[in-house]
Structure 1
Protein backbone atom coordinates (compact mmCIF):
# COMPACT_ATOMS: atom_id res chain seq x y z
CA UNK A 1 0.00 0.00 0.00
CA UNK A 2 2.86 2.30 0.81
CA UNK A 3 4.37 1.80 -2.65
CA UNK A 4 1.00 2.33 -4.28
CA UNK A 5 0.63 5.53 -2.31
CA UNK A 6 3.96 6.77 -3.62
CA UNK A 7 2.95 5.99 -7.20
CA UNK A 8 -0.34 7.83 -6.81
CA UNK A 9 1.42 10.80 -5.21
CA UNK A 10 4.00 10.91 -8.04
CA UNK A 11 1.30 10.74 -10.74
CA UNK A 12 -0.65 13.48 -8.98
CA UNK A 13 2.45 15.70 -8.85
CA UNK A 14 3.13 15.09 -12.53
CA UNK A 15 -0.45 16.10 -13.42
CA UNK A 16 -0.09 19.33 -11.43
CA UNK A 17 3.10 20.19 -13.30
CA UNK A 18 1.46 19.64 -16.70
CA UNK A 19 -1.90 21.24 -15.85
CA UNK A 20 -0.96 24.73 -17.07
CA UNK A 21 1.16 23.59 -20.00
CA UNK A 22 0.12 23.89 -23.61
CA UNK A 23 -0.51 20.54 -25.32
CA UNK A 24 2.78 20.49 -27.21
CA UNK A 25 4.70 21.23 -23.99
CA UNK A 26 2.87 18.41 -22.23
CA UNK A 27 3.79 16.04 -25.07
CA UNK A 28 7.42 17.15 -25.02
CA UNK A 29 7.66 16.69 -21.26
CA UNK A 30 6.19 13.19 -21.45
CA UNK A 31 8.89 12.09 -23.92
CA UNK A 32 11.62 13.01 -21.43
CA UNK A 33 9.77 11.93 -18.29
CA UNK A 34 6.95 9.35 -18.55
CA UNK A 35 8.16 7.71 -21.78
CA UNK A 36 11.88 8.20 -21.27
CA UNK A 37 12.63 4.46 -21.09
CA UNK A 38 10.33 3.21 -23.86
CA UNK A 39 10.60 6.05 -26.39
CA UNK A 40 13.29 8.64 -25.73
CA UNK A 41 16.09 6.30 -24.62
CA UNK A 42 15.48 3.82 -27.45
CA UNK A 43 15.35 6.65 -29.96
CA UNK A 44 18.66 8.06 -28.68
CA UNK A 45 20.26 4.60 -28.66
CA UNK A 46 19.33 4.05 -32.31
CA UNK A 47 20.61 7.51 -33.30
CA UNK A 48 23.93 6.79 -31.58
CA UNK A 49 24.42 3.08 -32.35
CA UNK A 50 23.62 3.40 -36.05
CA UNK A 51 25.24 6.85 -36.40
CA UNK A 52 22.10 8.37 -37.90
CA UNK A 53 22.73 12.06 -37.20
CA UNK A 54 25.99 13.88 -37.84
CA UNK A 55 27.21 17.44 -37.28
CA UNK A 56 25.93 19.76 -40.01
CA UNK A 57 23.18 17.46 -41.28
CA UNK A 58 19.98 18.96 -42.61
CA UNK A 59 17.30 16.31 -42.18
CA UNK A 60 13.84 16.23 -43.71
CA UNK A 61 11.51 14.45 -41.29
CA UNK A 62 8.86 12.95 -43.55
CA UNK A 63 5.39 13.16 -42.02
CA UNK A 64 2.60 10.98 -43.41
CA UNK A 65 0.14 12.01 -40.71
CA UNK A 66 0.24 8.71 -38.84
CA UNK A 67 1.29 8.12 -35.23
CA UNK A 68 4.81 6.94 -36.10
CA UNK A 69 5.88 9.91 -38.21
CA UNK A 70 4.28 12.44 -35.84
CA UNK A 71 6.14 10.94 -32.89
CA UNK A 72 9.36 10.92 -34.90
CA UNK A 73 8.90 14.62 -35.64
CA UNK A 74 8.63 15.46 -31.93
CA UNK A 75 11.61 13.28 -31.01
CA UNK A 76 13.78 14.87 -33.69
CA UNK A 77 12.64 18.29 -32.54
CA UNK A 78 13.65 17.46 -28.97
CA UNK A 79 16.98 16.04 -30.14
CA UNK A 80 17.75 19.28 -31.95
CA UNK A 81 16.94 21.28 -28.79
CA UNK A 82 18.78 19.11 -26.27
CA UNK A 83 21.32 17.10 -28.29
CA UNK A 84 25.07 17.67 -28.45
CA UNK A 85 25.26 17.62 -32.26
CA UNK A 86 24.27 20.70 -34.28
CA UNK A 87 21.96 19.90 -37.19
CA UNK A 88 18.93 21.39 -38.95
CA UNK A 89 15.44 20.05 -39.57
CA UNK A 90 12.67 20.39 -42.11
CA UNK A 91 9.29 18.78 -41.45
CA UNK A 92 8.14 17.59 -44.84
CA UNK A 93 4.55 16.61 -45.62
CA UNK A 94 3.66 15.29 -49.04
CA UNK A 95 0.00 15.35 -50.01
CA UNK A 96 -0.40 12.49 -52.51
CA UNK A 97 -4.10 13.27 -52.87
CA UNK A 98 -5.66 12.99 -49.42
CA UNK A 99 -9.31 13.83 -49.02
CA UNK A 100 -9.85 17.20 -47.36
CA UNK A 101 -10.60 15.71 -43.93
CA UNK A 102 -7.31 13.79 -43.85
CA UNK A 103 -5.34 16.78 -45.10
CA UNK A 104 -6.86 19.00 -42.42
CA UNK A 105 -6.14 16.40 -39.73
CA UNK A 106 -2.43 16.53 -40.54
CA UNK A 107 -2.41 20.34 -40.42
CA UNK A 108 -4.40 20.40 -37.18
CA UNK A 109 -2.15 17.85 -35.45
CA UNK A 110 0.98 19.66 -36.61
CA UNK A 111 -0.26 22.90 -35.05
CA UNK A 112 -1.32 21.10 -31.87
CA UNK A 113 2.13 19.52 -31.54
CA UNK A 114 3.98 22.71 -32.57
CA UNK A 115 5.56 21.13 -35.65
CA UNK A 116 6.19 23.69 -38.44
CA UNK A 117 5.42 21.59 -41.52
CA UNK A 118 6.31 22.24 -45.15
CA UNK A 119 3.53 20.68 -47.27
CA UNK A 120 3.70 20.08 -50.99
CA UNK A 121 1.07 18.70 -53.35
CA UNK A 122 1.30 15.74 -55.74
CA UNK A 123 -1.19 13.77 -57.83
CA UNK A 124 0.14 10.31 -56.98
CA UNK A 125 -3.14 8.75 -55.82
CA UNK A 126 -4.82 9.70 -59.11
CA UNK A 127 -1.89 8.41 -61.15
CA UNK A 128 -1.92 4.95 -59.53
CA UNK A 129 -5.74 4.71 -59.21
CA UNK A 130 -6.13 2.85 -62.52
CA UNK A 131 -3.02 0.69 -62.20
CA UNK A 132 -3.97 -2.99 -61.95
CA UNK A 133 -0.54 -4.51 -61.40
CA UNK A 134 1.30 -3.63 -58.16
CA UNK A 135 -0.31 -0.20 -57.52
CA UNK A 136 0.99 -0.19 -53.92
CA UNK A 137 4.57 -0.75 -55.08
CA UNK A 138 4.30 2.03 -57.67
CA UNK A 139 2.67 4.40 -55.17
CA UNK A 140 5.36 3.78 -52.54
CA UNK A 141 8.13 4.24 -55.11
CA UNK A 142 6.65 7.51 -56.39
CA UNK A 143 6.10 8.85 -52.88
CA UNK A 144 9.68 8.02 -51.86
CA UNK A 145 11.06 9.68 -55.00
CA UNK A 146 9.01 12.85 -54.42
CA UNK A 147 10.16 13.04 -50.81
CA UNK A 148 13.82 12.72 -51.82
CA UNK A 149 13.45 15.38 -54.51
CA UNK A 150 11.70 17.95 -52.33
CA UNK A 151 14.06 17.30 -49.42
CA UNK A 152 17.00 17.84 -51.74
CA UNK A 153 15.43 21.05 -53.07
CA UNK A 154 15.23 22.28 -49.47
CA UNK A 155 18.95 21.67 -49.04
CA UNK A 156 18.59 18.46 -47.01
CA UNK A 157 21.08 15.60 -47.18
CA UNK A 158 18.87 13.08 -45.35
CA UNK A 159 15.25 12.05 -45.04
CA UNK A 160 13.98 10.47 -41.81
CA UNK A 161 11.13 7.95 -41.92
CA UNK A 162 8.99 6.64 -39.06
CA UNK A 163 9.57 2.90 -39.44
CA UNK A 164 9.96 1.21 -36.06
CA UNK A 165 11.12 -2.05 -34.40
CA UNK A 166 7.99 -3.98 -35.41
CA UNK A 167 8.36 -2.89 -39.05
CA UNK A 168 11.91 -4.25 -39.04
CA UNK A 169 11.09 -7.70 -37.65
CA UNK A 170 7.95 -7.99 -39.82
CA UNK A 171 10.10 -7.28 -42.88
CA UNK A 172 12.57 -9.95 -41.77
CA UNK A 173 9.78 -12.51 -41.46
CA UNK A 174 8.18 -11.53 -44.79
CA UNK A 175 11.49 -11.94 -46.58
CA UNK A 176 11.99 -15.40 -45.08
CA UNK A 177 8.43 -16.69 -45.54
CA UNK A 178 7.47 -15.10 -48.86
CA UNK A 179 10.74 -14.28 -50.64
CA UNK A 180 12.91 -17.20 -49.50
CA UNK A 181 15.76 -14.96 -48.39
CA UNK A 182 17.15 -13.34 -45.28
CA UNK A 183 16.98 -9.57 -45.28
CA UNK A 184 15.57 -6.76 -43.21
CA UNK A 185 14.67 -3.08 -43.23
CA UNK A 186 17.97 -1.23 -42.71
CA UNK A 187 18.34 1.56 -40.12
CA UNK A 188 19.94 3.72 -42.80
CA UNK A 189 20.86 3.50 -46.47
CA UNK A 190 22.18 5.62 -49.32
CA UNK A 191 19.81 6.65 -52.08
CA UNK A 192 20.65 5.07 -55.42
CA UNK A 193 18.76 7.70 -57.46
CA UNK A 194 19.47 10.90 -55.53
CA UNK A 195 23.20 11.47 -55.16
CA UNK A 196 24.34 12.52 -51.71
CA UNK A 197 21.00 11.69 -50.11
CA UNK A 198 20.54 9.22 -47.29
CA UNK A 199 17.53 7.62 -45.60
CA UNK A 200 17.50 7.13 -41.82
CA UNK A 201 15.06 5.37 -39.45
CA UNK A 202 15.53 6.78 -35.92
CA UNK A 203 12.58 4.79 -34.45
CA UNK A 204 14.37 1.54 -35.29
CA UNK A 205 14.45 0.34 -31.66
CA UNK A 206 11.02 1.66 -30.62
CA UNK A 207 8.19 -0.86 -30.35
CA UNK A 208 4.80 -0.06 -31.85
CA UNK A 209 2.94 -0.86 -28.63
CA UNK A 210 4.86 1.92 -26.88
CA UNK A 211 3.98 4.40 -29.62
CA UNK A 212 0.32 3.46 -29.21
CA UNK A 213 0.57 3.91 -25.43
CA UNK A 214 2.02 7.42 -25.92
CA UNK A 215 -0.70 8.32 -28.43
CA UNK A 216 -3.51 7.09 -26.18
CA UNK A 217 -2.08 8.80 -23.09
CA UNK A 218 -2.35 12.18 -24.80
CA UNK A 219 -5.68 11.41 -26.49
CA UNK A 220 -4.18 12.02 -29.93
CA UNK A 221 -5.86 10.90 -33.16
CA UNK A 222 -3.81 10.44 -36.31
CA UNK A 223 -4.36 9.09 -39.81
CA UNK A 224 -4.71 5.30 -39.80
CA UNK A 225 -3.34 4.86 -43.30
CA UNK A 226 -2.07 7.12 -46.08
CA UNK A 227 -3.66 4.99 -48.79
CA UNK A 228 -6.77 6.21 -50.63
CA UNK A 229 -7.92 2.59 -50.98
CA UNK A 230 -8.68 2.47 -47.27
CA UNK A 231 -11.04 5.43 -47.66
CA UNK A 232 -13.32 3.18 -49.70
CA UNK A 233 -13.05 0.10 -47.49
CA UNK A 234 -12.85 -0.54 -43.79
CA UNK A 235 -9.40 -0.71 -42.19
CA UNK A 236 -10.12 -4.32 -41.24
CA UNK A 237 -10.89 -5.32 -44.83
CA UNK A 238 -7.70 -3.69 -46.07
CA UNK A 239 -5.55 -5.22 -43.33
CA UNK A 240 -7.09 -8.63 -43.94
CA UNK A 241 -5.46 -8.88 -47.37
CA UNK A 242 -2.10 -7.55 -46.26
CA UNK A 243 1.03 -9.66 -45.85
CA UNK A 244 2.17 -7.07 -43.34
CA UNK A 245 -0.95 -7.76 -41.26
CA UNK A 246 -0.17 -11.49 -41.40
CA UNK A 247 3.27 -10.77 -39.97
CA UNK A 248 1.81 -8.52 -37.26
CA UNK A 249 -0.51 -11.33 -36.22
CA UNK A 250 2.37 -13.82 -36.28
CA UNK A 251 4.54 -11.59 -34.08
CA UNK A 252 1.59 -11.12 -31.73
CA UNK A 253 1.34 -14.91 -31.31
CA UNK A 254 5.11 -15.17 -30.80
CA UNK A 255 4.87 -12.61 -27.99
CA UNK A 256 2.20 -14.72 -26.30
CA UNK A 257 4.55 -17.70 -26.42
CA UNK A 258 7.66 -15.91 -25.18
CA UNK A 259 8.63 -12.29 -24.40
CA UNK A 260 12.06 -12.69 -26.02
CA UNK A 261 11.13 -14.05 -29.47
CA UNK A 262 10.60 -10.62 -31.06
CA UNK A 263 14.00 -9.40 -29.85
CA UNK A 264 15.66 -12.61 -31.02
CA UNK A 265 14.26 -12.09 -34.53
CA UNK A 266 15.69 -8.57 -34.42
CA UNK A 267 19.07 -9.71 -33.09
CA UNK A 268 19.36 -12.52 -35.63
CA UNK A 269 19.91 -9.96 -38.41
CA UNK A 270 22.67 -8.34 -36.34
CA UNK A 271 24.40 -11.67 -35.63
CA UNK A 272 24.59 -13.51 -38.95
CA UNK A 273 27.25 -16.24 -38.82
CA UNK A 274 28.52 -16.64 -42.39
CA UNK A 275 30.24 -19.92 -41.42
CA UNK A 276 26.76 -21.47 -41.09
CA UNK A 277 25.13 -19.87 -44.14
CA UNK A 278 24.76 -21.85 -47.39
CA UNK A 279 24.79 -18.78 -49.60
CA UNK A 280 24.63 -15.01 -49.44
CA UNK A 281 24.62 -11.96 -51.69
CA UNK A 282 26.86 -8.91 -51.39
CA UNK A 283 26.99 -5.96 -53.79
CA UNK A 284 24.64 -7.87 -56.10
CA UNK A 285 27.08 -10.80 -56.34
CA UNK A 286 26.06 -14.27 -55.15
CA UNK A 287 28.40 -16.31 -52.96
CA UNK A 288 28.32 -19.93 -51.81
CA UNK A 289 29.88 -21.73 -48.85
CA UNK A 290 31.50 -23.93 -51.52
CA UNK A 291 33.63 -20.97 -52.64
CA UNK A 292 35.84 -21.45 -49.57
CA UNK A 293 35.06 -25.07 -48.70
Structure 2
Protein backbone atom coordinates (compact mmCIF):
# COMPACT_ATOMS: atom_id res chain seq x y z
CA UNK A 1 0.00 0.00 0.00
CA UNK A 2 2.86 2.34 0.78
CA UNK A 3 4.47 1.68 -2.62
CA UNK A 4 1.26 2.47 -4.45
CA UNK A 5 0.84 5.67 -2.52
CA UNK A 6 4.45 6.60 -3.23
CA UNK A 7 4.06 5.96 -6.95
CA UNK A 8 0.90 8.01 -7.02
CA UNK A 9 2.72 11.05 -5.70
CA UNK A 10 4.38 12.99 -8.59
CA UNK A 11 6.93 15.57 -7.62
CA UNK A 12 7.90 18.37 -10.04
CA UNK A 13 11.33 17.93 -11.74
CA UNK A 14 13.27 21.15 -11.33
CA UNK A 15 15.72 20.08 -14.10
CA UNK A 16 12.99 20.28 -16.76
CA UNK A 17 11.78 23.79 -16.13
CA UNK A 18 11.67 26.27 -19.08
CA UNK A 19 14.03 29.22 -19.72
CA UNK A 20 13.38 32.40 -17.88
CA UNK A 21 13.14 35.76 -19.63
CA UNK A 22 16.59 36.87 -18.47
CA UNK A 23 18.14 33.66 -19.83
CA UNK A 24 16.49 34.25 -23.20
CA UNK A 25 17.81 37.81 -23.29
CA UNK A 26 21.33 36.65 -22.43
CA UNK A 27 21.20 34.03 -25.20
CA UNK A 28 20.03 36.65 -27.69
CA UNK A 29 22.83 39.01 -26.67
CA UNK A 30 25.44 36.28 -27.06
CA UNK A 31 24.05 35.33 -30.48
CA UNK A 32 24.00 38.96 -31.66
CA UNK A 33 27.56 39.51 -30.47
CA UNK A 34 28.67 36.40 -32.32
CA UNK A 35 27.00 37.51 -35.55
CA UNK A 36 28.49 41.00 -35.22
CA UNK A 37 31.92 39.50 -34.58
CA UNK A 38 31.68 37.41 -37.73
CA UNK A 39 30.48 40.42 -39.75
CA UNK A 40 33.35 42.51 -38.39
CA UNK A 41 35.80 40.11 -40.03
CA UNK A 42 34.50 40.82 -43.53
CA UNK A 43 35.96 44.35 -44.09
CA UNK A 44 39.51 43.35 -43.05
CA UNK A 45 39.22 40.19 -45.11
CA UNK A 46 38.08 42.14 -48.16
CA UNK A 47 40.87 44.66 -47.63
CA UNK A 48 43.46 41.89 -47.31
CA UNK A 49 42.11 40.21 -50.46
CA UNK A 50 42.30 43.51 -52.35
CA UNK A 51 45.88 44.13 -51.19
CA UNK A 52 46.83 40.57 -52.06
CA UNK A 53 45.41 40.98 -55.57
CA UNK A 54 47.23 44.28 -55.98
CA UNK A 55 50.57 42.89 -54.81
CA UNK A 56 50.18 39.79 -56.98
CA UNK A 57 49.43 41.86 -60.08
CA UNK A 58 52.31 44.21 -59.25
CA UNK A 59 54.72 41.29 -58.93
CA UNK A 60 53.51 39.79 -62.22
CA UNK A 61 53.87 43.14 -63.97
CA UNK A 62 57.37 43.67 -62.57
CA UNK A 63 58.49 40.24 -63.74
CA UNK A 64 56.92 40.84 -67.15
CA UNK A 65 58.74 44.16 -67.53
CA UNK A 66 61.99 42.58 -66.31
CA UNK A 67 61.67 39.83 -68.90
CA UNK A 68 61.01 42.38 -71.64
CA UNK A 69 64.04 44.41 -70.55
CA UNK A 70 66.23 41.30 -70.49
CA UNK A 71 65.20 40.53 -74.06
CA UNK A 72 65.90 44.14 -75.06
CA UNK A 73 69.32 44.09 -73.41
CA UNK A 74 70.28 40.85 -75.14
CA UNK A 75 69.54 42.46 -78.51
CA UNK A 76 71.15 45.85 -77.77
CA UNK A 77 72.61 47.56 -80.82
CA UNK A 78 75.44 50.04 -81.09
CA UNK A 79 74.41 53.49 -82.27
CA UNK A 80 76.64 54.05 -85.29
CA UNK A 81 75.72 57.74 -85.43
CA UNK A 82 77.11 58.46 -81.98
CA UNK A 83 80.72 59.70 -81.72
CA UNK A 84 81.23 57.57 -78.62
CA UNK A 85 80.13 54.05 -77.73
CA UNK A 86 76.37 54.06 -77.14
CA UNK A 87 73.95 51.15 -76.95
CA UNK A 88 70.29 51.31 -77.93
CA UNK A 89 67.68 48.80 -76.71
CA UNK A 90 64.14 48.24 -77.95
CA UNK A 91 61.61 46.61 -75.63
CA UNK A 92 58.17 45.30 -76.52
CA UNK A 93 55.48 45.41 -73.87
CA UNK A 94 51.93 46.51 -73.19
CA UNK A 95 52.57 50.20 -72.54
CA UNK A 96 51.37 53.67 -73.38
CA UNK A 97 52.68 57.12 -72.60
CA UNK A 98 50.49 59.81 -74.07
CA UNK A 99 49.35 57.56 -76.93
CA UNK A 100 47.28 54.37 -76.83
CA UNK A 101 48.82 52.79 -79.91
CA UNK A 102 52.37 52.32 -78.66
CA UNK A 103 53.78 48.92 -77.76
CA UNK A 104 57.48 49.31 -78.56
CA UNK A 105 59.98 51.60 -76.89
CA UNK A 106 63.61 52.32 -77.79
CA UNK A 107 65.96 53.80 -75.22
CA UNK A 108 69.66 54.55 -74.83
CA UNK A 109 71.57 52.75 -72.09
CA UNK A 110 73.43 55.08 -69.72
CA UNK A 111 77.24 55.28 -69.76
CA UNK A 112 79.60 54.61 -66.88
CA UNK A 113 79.31 57.04 -63.97
CA UNK A 114 82.00 59.65 -63.48
CA UNK A 115 82.59 58.46 -59.92
CA UNK A 116 80.40 55.57 -58.71
CA UNK A 117 81.48 56.14 -55.11
CA UNK A 118 79.85 59.58 -54.96
CA UNK A 119 77.06 59.25 -57.54
CA UNK A 120 75.95 56.04 -59.30
CA UNK A 121 74.17 58.23 -61.89
CA UNK A 122 70.79 56.56 -62.17
CA UNK A 123 68.81 57.41 -65.32
CA UNK A 124 65.00 57.37 -65.24
CA UNK A 125 62.92 55.99 -68.11
CA UNK A 126 60.79 57.26 -69.75
CA UNK A 127 62.49 60.62 -69.87
CA UNK A 128 59.22 62.56 -70.20
CA UNK A 129 55.45 62.06 -70.14
CA UNK A 130 55.53 61.65 -73.94
CA UNK A 131 58.99 60.19 -74.59
CA UNK A 132 60.72 59.66 -77.87
CA UNK A 133 61.52 56.21 -79.13
CA UNK A 134 57.94 54.97 -78.98
CA UNK A 135 56.93 52.34 -81.54
CA UNK A 136 60.63 51.53 -81.89
CA UNK A 137 61.37 54.46 -84.21
CA UNK A 138 63.84 57.30 -83.89
CA UNK A 139 67.14 57.42 -82.12
CA UNK A 140 65.77 56.26 -78.79
CA UNK A 141 64.93 57.93 -75.51
CA UNK A 142 68.06 58.95 -73.56
CA UNK A 143 66.07 59.03 -70.33
CA UNK A 144 66.43 61.62 -67.60
CA UNK A 145 69.39 61.61 -65.24
CA UNK A 146 68.30 61.63 -61.60
CA UNK A 147 69.89 64.58 -59.83
CA UNK A 148 69.16 63.37 -56.30
CA UNK A 149 67.40 60.48 -54.58
CA UNK A 150 64.39 62.50 -53.39
CA UNK A 151 62.28 61.28 -56.31
CA UNK A 152 58.54 61.06 -55.59
CA UNK A 153 56.92 58.42 -57.83
CA UNK A 154 53.39 59.53 -56.95
CA UNK A 155 54.04 63.07 -58.23
CA UNK A 156 55.89 62.02 -61.39
CA UNK A 157 53.92 61.63 -64.62
CA UNK A 158 56.81 59.93 -66.43
CA UNK A 159 55.60 56.35 -66.60
CA UNK A 160 54.09 53.78 -68.93
CA UNK A 161 50.51 52.78 -68.27
CA UNK A 162 49.03 49.45 -69.25
CA UNK A 163 46.41 49.34 -71.98
CA UNK A 164 48.57 50.05 -75.01
CA UNK A 165 47.06 47.23 -77.05
CA UNK A 166 44.55 49.10 -79.24
CA UNK A 167 42.41 46.01 -79.88
CA UNK A 168 42.04 45.41 -76.16
CA UNK A 169 41.30 49.07 -75.52
CA UNK A 170 38.57 49.06 -78.16
CA UNK A 171 37.09 45.86 -76.72
CA UNK A 172 36.51 47.49 -73.33
CA UNK A 173 35.92 51.07 -74.48
CA UNK A 174 32.57 51.14 -72.70
CA UNK A 175 34.35 50.34 -69.46
CA UNK A 176 36.78 53.20 -70.00
CA UNK A 177 33.93 55.63 -70.67
CA UNK A 178 32.39 55.08 -67.25
CA UNK A 179 35.79 55.15 -65.50
CA UNK A 180 35.39 51.79 -63.82
CA UNK A 181 38.03 51.67 -61.02
CA UNK A 182 38.23 47.89 -61.38
CA UNK A 183 39.39 48.12 -65.00
CA UNK A 184 42.67 46.16 -65.03
CA UNK A 185 43.99 47.81 -68.19
CA UNK A 186 44.61 51.28 -66.83
CA UNK A 187 45.08 50.84 -63.11
CA UNK A 188 48.73 49.76 -63.23
CA UNK A 189 51.75 51.63 -64.55
CA UNK A 190 55.51 51.26 -64.45
CA UNK A 191 58.74 53.13 -64.95
CA UNK A 192 62.34 52.07 -64.46
CA UNK A 193 65.78 53.39 -63.59
CA UNK A 194 69.04 52.08 -65.04
CA UNK A 195 72.64 52.54 -64.03
CA UNK A 196 75.76 50.94 -65.43
CA UNK A 197 77.62 48.90 -62.84
CA UNK A 198 81.25 50.01 -62.66
CA UNK A 199 83.13 46.93 -61.45
CA UNK A 200 86.49 48.25 -62.69
CA UNK A 201 86.56 51.55 -60.85
CA UNK A 202 89.67 50.48 -58.97
CA UNK A 203 91.48 50.54 -62.33
CA UNK A 204 89.49 53.15 -64.24
CA UNK A 205 90.20 55.87 -61.69
CA UNK A 206 93.87 55.71 -62.77
CA UNK A 207 93.90 57.50 -66.12
CA UNK A 208 97.18 55.90 -67.18
CA UNK A 209 96.15 52.26 -66.75
CA UNK A 210 97.72 49.95 -69.34
CA UNK A 211 95.90 47.19 -71.19
CA UNK A 212 97.97 44.08 -70.29
CA UNK A 213 97.08 42.37 -73.58
CA UNK A 214 97.69 45.22 -76.04
CA UNK A 215 100.19 47.22 -74.03
CA UNK A 216 98.32 50.47 -74.70
CA UNK A 217 96.67 53.02 -72.42
CA UNK A 218 93.02 52.19 -71.82
CA UNK A 219 90.58 54.82 -73.10
CA UNK A 220 87.08 55.58 -71.73
CA UNK A 221 85.45 53.75 -74.66
CA UNK A 222 87.53 50.68 -73.82
CA UNK A 223 85.98 50.55 -70.36
CA UNK A 224 82.53 51.16 -71.82
CA UNK A 225 82.99 48.15 -74.09
CA UNK A 226 84.41 45.88 -71.40
CA UNK A 227 81.70 46.44 -68.78
CA UNK A 228 78.33 45.03 -69.74
CA UNK A 229 76.40 44.79 -66.47
CA UNK A 230 73.51 47.12 -65.63
CA UNK A 231 71.30 47.46 -62.58
CA UNK A 232 67.60 48.10 -63.16
CA UNK A 233 64.98 49.30 -60.69
CA UNK A 234 61.40 48.69 -61.86
CA UNK A 235 58.79 50.86 -60.14
CA UNK A 236 55.15 49.71 -60.07
CA UNK A 237 52.33 52.19 -59.48
CA UNK A 238 48.56 52.11 -59.43
CA UNK A 239 46.69 54.78 -61.36
CA UNK A 240 43.17 56.06 -60.71
CA UNK A 241 41.26 58.74 -62.61
CA UNK A 242 38.38 60.80 -61.36
CA UNK A 243 35.27 60.69 -63.51
CA UNK A 244 34.82 63.58 -65.92
CA UNK A 245 32.02 64.91 -68.08
CA UNK A 246 30.90 62.74 -71.01
CA UNK A 247 33.15 59.88 -69.97
CA UNK A 248 36.33 61.94 -69.99
CA UNK A 249 39.06 61.14 -67.50
CA UNK A 250 39.44 63.65 -64.70
CA UNK A 251 42.31 64.29 -62.31
CA UNK A 252 44.79 61.46 -61.94
CA UNK A 253 45.97 59.95 -58.66
CA UNK A 254 49.06 57.75 -58.46
CA UNK A 255 49.93 55.35 -55.68
CA UNK A 256 53.34 53.72 -55.40
CA UNK A 257 53.26 49.96 -54.76
CA UNK A 258 56.75 48.51 -54.96
CA UNK A 259 60.17 48.52 -56.61
CA UNK A 260 61.88 45.42 -57.98
CA UNK A 261 65.64 45.45 -58.62
CA UNK A 262 67.34 43.32 -61.26
CA UNK A 263 70.81 43.09 -62.75
CA UNK A 264 70.93 42.49 -66.50
CA UNK A 265 73.90 42.32 -68.84
CA UNK A 266 74.22 42.99 -72.54
CA UNK A 267 76.01 40.66 -74.89
Return the TM-score normalized by structure 2: 0.20
| Structure with max Cα Rg | 2
Q: Which has the higher strand share?
A: 2
